[in-house]
Each structure stands twice: as structure tokens, then as C-alpha cells.
Structure 1
Amino acid sequence: MSLFDQLPRVSLCHQPTPIEYMPRLSKHLGINLYIKRDDCTGLAGGGNKTRKLEFLLGEARSQGADTLITLGGIQSNHARQTAAAAAKYGFNCELVLEDVEGTVKQDYYANGNILLDQLFGANIHRVNEGVDCLDYAYQLKTELAKKGHKAFVIPLGGSSAIGSMGYVQCANEILDESQSNKISFDKLFLATGSAGTQAGLLAGFKAADCKLPVYGMCVSQDSQTKSELVTALLAESLKLVGLEGTGTQGDVITDGAYVGEGYGIHTPAVVEAINLCAQLEGILLDPVYTGKGMAGLIDYCRSGKITPGENILFIHTGGSQGLFAYRETF
């Protein structure tokens, strides 16, 4: 019996998601660029959190919870997918959403992900920037317990060792697709935020003795801070897959050069990346996550960090629903 059969789990995700070649953008950049379509995971328009939520909701059900509590920014993709998962499996849903200074505001509070959160029936707690959202979530859990509810708190981005198992499994998918399509990738790129996607991929590749380098383009924080976050979660994830104590020296690659002024704040390079993918490939990215990830990949091509002709895989972690909150940007 595999680890994935032993862990509590629900069914939410369309998987395996396809890997597609991007011919026009490849020609533009001088590389062979492929995209893993985790924007097509199905739940609430798709995204990477769906894989994590299969295991997180499984754990919540095993504990007898009737309410899910999670946190994020006002335009959190994770919150949207959590609200949809809660609706599908009959949980109450409480979202603790923090305002983000410096973001465009014309549509930010009423469109995009937050509109969908409301459609899914979530109860939204809007808090000011700087509030400790995790502390708020646990206080809310205590208040709900007094009313007879049992709440399960899902961390930011669903990024725990349990949540990262969704991307251990995704790593296996990538290796299977690579073998069946006879494609050998030189590098993998993704936007990295709360660390669960990158840590899960690294744990999955390490378990399979695959040395594919995973480049995390930071959407918040500097390279060192993000590296420490990913490394810590990678150690927890390796423990869960039975590889406790496995060395990870040199495995975690993060780059904070494309964060700009901060989380949720777009840059000219992000706008260019979104426009290029839309106009050359019909692929929608978002200003918060995938736009920054692709901006980093494009700059790596232009600066020679990716050499011409390399086979590059980009993980599309979803988020295009957030475009509608950033309408004035475009």
C-alpha cells in the first residue's frame, strides 16, 4: 500500500494535469518551454491548492471537524479553493483575509477571488494589514468551539507536510509524463509563496532519486528567508514520506529578485510576462504568483542563466481568477 493510500484524503482534483509545449513563446525565448497545467485541476477554476486540499480535507474529516478555517490575502487563490472544497464536502468555511498595502484597489475588494469566496458561501473576516492572521484563526476556532463547532485550521497556502503530499504526487506525475513523452527537462520553474508546492515537488523528486533542479521565483520575501521556509517544510515532508534525515544541501533554489515592492504588487516585468503568455499562447497568468514566476523565467533566458535550447518546465499554479481584481493594471 502506498503512502497516498494510507493518508486520509478526499477527491477534488482533475489529475494528472497535462504538460503542454508552448511553441510560440519557446521561439520568442530561444528555449523549449513546457507548461504543467495545474491551473486545470478543476476545483473552483483550478490551481495548485486543490492537490493540497485533498489531503487537508481528509485530515479534517478524520478529526471530525465541521468547519474549515484558513487565511490569506484579500485575493487569496487558496481561500477560493478552500471555500469551494468546503462547499463540496459540507463544511462551514471561515476565511481570515488580510488587506495588502500597495495593491490596485478599484476592483480589489469586490471582484476576482473574493467574489467567488462569497458565491461559495464562505464567512469572510477582513482584517487590516499587520494583524496576526494565524492567531486570529485560532481565536476564531476557540470561539466556534464554545458554540459547539469543531474547526480545523488550514495554514497559509495549505502549506504543511500533509498539504505538500499533493505535490509529492505531482512530482510523480511529472516523472511519468516525462518518461511517456520522452522529454528530459533541464530545469523546473514555479512561483513560490507559502513553500508547500516547492517543498512537495522536491520531496517527491528526492524520493524518486531525481535530481531535476527546481527554481522557486519568490512572490514575497527575499531569497534567504524563502529558502529557509522551503527547507524547513521540505524536512517535514521528507519525514512524512519516510526519508527523515535525508540531506537537502543545495536542493532548495529560491530567487527573490522578482518580488518587486512586495506580495500582490505587480511590476512592469510581470505585466509583460502576462501579456506575452496571453498573446503568444492563449495562457492566462496572474499578477500575484504565476506572473512573477514567468517574469523570472523570462529574465533567466535573457540574462543567459537558461541557455538556448534547454528544455524548461513551468508549473502553472493557477490564479487567473485574480486578474479581474487587477483590471486597472491592464
Structure 2
Amino acid sequence: MNATTLPRLNLSTFPRHALLEGPTPIQPLSRLSARLGGASIYVKRDDLNGLGGGGNKLRKLEFLIGEALATGADTIITVGARQSNHARLTAAAAARMGLKCELVLTRTVPRFDSDYLENGNILLDALFDVRVHDLSGSANALQFAEDRASELRAQGRKVYVCPLGGSSAVGCLGYADCAAEILAQSTQAGLSFDRIVVPNGSGGMQAGLLAGFAALGVKTPVIAAYTVLGDAERARSITLDKANQTVRLINENLHVEADAISIDGEQLGPGYGIPTDGMREAVRLLASTEGLLLDPVYGGKAFAGLVKDVTSGKYAAGENILFIMTGGLPGLFAYRSEF
């Protein structure tokens, strides 16, 4: 296969608004790979997207904001934990587009220090001039968002409600598109990735990649995820459902099989947003060997899993592994005391 014979993914029928500056680079981690031995590790720098501090959620938001604008929305509401990267980038995208924005944020993570409550993403949310609804950890954020949307609609506003992580089927199209981007970049570079490694929170990134490769009709590399939100079995079920919803948007005749879902639950630790020793070690390792910064909630735990599986030999010597850096840098400041 060469660049002229690459299969194309046509997503032009879906409303979309550009929020990225172009394809994000793929870079080798040569020093880290030599340090760990065995597999060759690369990173796709989705952390380098510029808007709002950057991060992978902008891929989803291109399609979500596109759909919101297509429906005539003047307001967008989304949900997440207090340090949600998705919420921060939704706020930034709304500011760029001149939309009103409200964030429904829950205190899901049992942290009460001032860094977590007032620094990091929550500081940036305030700069983007959004309204934040601060709910308890047990609250039903999406129901609150729908109720709030009804209130605003009664006032004549046109409201678009965006789900957790932006991981609706429409949002997942952003990572279907990313699958095509990875295929084009790897082909041009003469690379073949055996495995693509991602964190799995709301499941949208893994689901979108699986849908994208299925729609491209090429051999799918293993899309290996480490869950950071819930137990592996629940994550597997949610991700499979989203992958099939997404691929059917592209081509109603396509299907993602259950055995394509690879999810490891060993890095979750005590729960979502709760630091682990493996996460701390992974963040320090990548920073000290390659000068790259992982976030403590998503990328740090997933990279800890990658390091463990390379050093244990689970990922074989000679494999080419692509890790998607999702961004979330502001989260490091919210977790200052952990480092």
C-alpha cells in the first residue's frame, strides 16, 4: 500500500467545524524505547492541539460543535468531573464560536485540597467565562444538564447537550477520522503499527479508532486500552456499543466484533482520578527520558500499563507501538501534591 492507493474515509456528510491546526505528529520515543528494551514506542501528539490548552477532545468537538451549529444552537452544555479536560475544551471551543457554555461538574473524585478544587482545568474554565454548576459526586450530571437545557429552552434559547467525554457516536467520528490520519502518516513513514495504546475513560477514543479502521477496510492494529474510569467488563461493553453506533453512522452495513475490544483494568487502582504509584512513576519516566508530560488521570495510568507490558514481555520485542498522548496537562497542576 502506498499513499496513492490508501483507502479514504468520507465523513463529509457530517457537520464539522475545524478546531485542529492539521494532523498531529507521530514521534519516536527513542531514548525511552532503549531504556525499556524490546518494543519500539512512538507517540501521536494529540496534546499539541492549540485551542484551550490542547488535548484529544478537540477531535470529538469538531463534530459535536459542527452538529450544534447545524441545529442552530446558541448554547452548549456538557458534563464531567471537576477537573474534566473535555469540559475545559468544550468551554474553549464555545468561546471560539461565540456560543454560551455551561458546565455541569461533579465532585466525583474524593479530593478536597485547594489545588484540585481551584487550580488546573477549573481555573481555565473560569477564564473561558462559562457558568459552572458544582454538583456532588453522587449527582446525576446528565439529568441535571437536560433539566437545565429545558429551562433555557423555555427562555427561548437553543441548547445542545453534549455527553460525558463528548463520546456520543457523533463525537466518536473524530477518532474514526484519526484512524485514517494514522494510516496515512504511518504509510508515508514506511511504518506499520502492531498496537495502538490509549486510555479508556468514556470509551469514545477507542470506539472511534475501531470504527475508523473498520470503515477503512484495512487490517486493524490491536487497539489496546487501559481503563481509567470503571471496571474493565463495563468499559468493554460500553466501548463495543459506541464502536458499533459510530461505524453504522459511516456505513450501516459494517460491524465491530466483540473480540476487537482489548481493555486492561489493572491500572485503574482505587478509582477514577485517584493516583497510583504506577501512574506517578510513568509520568516521571516519560518526563525525565523524553521531556514529555502526561496527565495524571488518563495518560499517566495508560502509559503505566504500557511500560509494565513492555518490560514484562507481554508486548513483544520488535513490535511497533503507538501511544496516543491525549493532553490534559492542566491536570498536573491540580495534582501538584502527588509529585
Please, what TM-score do these two structures have when normalized by structure 2? 0.95
The answer to whether residue 22 in structure 2 is matched with residue 15 in structure 1 is: yes
1:5 to partner: Cα distance: 1.7
Aligned residue number for residue 318 of structure 1: 327
What is the rounded CA distance, in whole Å, between the counterparts of 1:14 and 1:215 in structure 2? Answer: 27
SS in 2 for 1:189: strand
SS in 2 for 1:306: coil
What is the rounded CA distance, in whole Å, between the counterparts of 1:279 and 1:306 in structure 2? Answer: 23
1:248-296 Cα shifts (integer Å, max 9, x gaps): 1311111111000111111000000000011100100011000011011
Aligned residue type for 2:202:
S
- Per mean C-alpha deviation after superposition, the further-off stretch among 267-276 and 241-250 is 241-250
1:243 to partner: Cα distance: 4.2
Identity of aligned residues (%): 47
Structure 1 stretches of 4+ moved >4 Å: none
Instruction: Say how many residue pairs are matched.
Output: 330
Aligned residue number for residue 183 of structure 1: 191
The answer to whether residue 41 in structure 2 is matched with residue 26 in structure 1 is: no
SS in 2 for 1:318: coil
What is the rounded CA distance, in whole Å, between the counterparts of 2:9 and 2:262 in structure 1? Answer: 29
- Per mean C-alpha deviation after superposition, the further-off stretch among 74-83 and 243-252 is 243-252
SS in 2 for 1:250: helix
Aligned residue number for residue 5 of structure 1: 12
Aligned residue type for 1:157:
G
1:100 to partner: Cα distance: 2.4
The CA RMSD over aligned residues, in Å, is 1.3
Please, what TM-score do these two structures have when normalized by structure 1? 0.97
1:293-312 Cα shifts (integer Å, max 9, x gaps): 10110111122211223211
1:123 to partner: Cα distance: 0.4
What is the rounded CA distance, in whole Å, between the counterparts of 2:251 and 2:192 in structure 1? Answer: 27
SS in 2 for 1:194: coil
SS in 2 for 1:95: strand
The answer to whether residue 124 in structure 2 is matched with residue 145 in structure 1 is: no
Q: Among residues 281, 299, 311, which one is paired with 1:302 in the alignment? A: 311
Aligned residue number for residue 199 of structure 1: 207
Contact 1:96 1:124 in 2 (8 A): yes
What is the rounded CA distance, in whole Å, between the counterparts of 2:25 and 2:191 in structure 1? Answer: 13
1:193-230 Cα shifts (integer Å, max 9, x gaps): 11111100001111222220000110011111000000
What is the rounded CA distance, in whole Å, between the counterparts of 2:194 and 2:66 in structure 1? Answer: 35
Aligned residue number for residue 256 of structure 1: 265
Q: Among residues 235, 239, 246, which one is paired with 1:230 in the alignment? A: 239
Aligned residue type for 1:203:
A
Aligned residue number for residue 169 of structure 2: 161
The answer to whether residue 220 in structure 2 is matched with residue 211 in structure 1 is: yes
The answer to whether residue 297 in structure 2 is matched with residue 288 in structure 1 is: yes
What is the rounded CA distance, in whole Å, between the counterparts of 1:51 and 1:227 in structure 2? Answer: 22
Structure 1: runs of 5 or more not aligned: none
Contact 1:104 1:326 in 2 (8 A): no
What is the rounded CA distance, in whole Å, between the counterparts of 2:256 and 2:70 in structure 1? Answer: 32
What is the rounded CA distance, in whole Å, between the counterparts of 1:136 and 1:3 in structure 2? Answer: 36
What is the rounded CA distance, in whole Å, between the counterparts of 1:117 and 1:290 in structure 2? Answer: 21
Q: Among residues 89, 92, 110, which one is paired with 1:84 in the alignment? A: 92
Aligned residue type for 1:237:
T
What is the rounded CA distance, in whole Å, between the counterparts of 2:111 and 2:239 in structure 1? Answer: 26
Contact 1:39 1:317 in 2 (8 A): yes
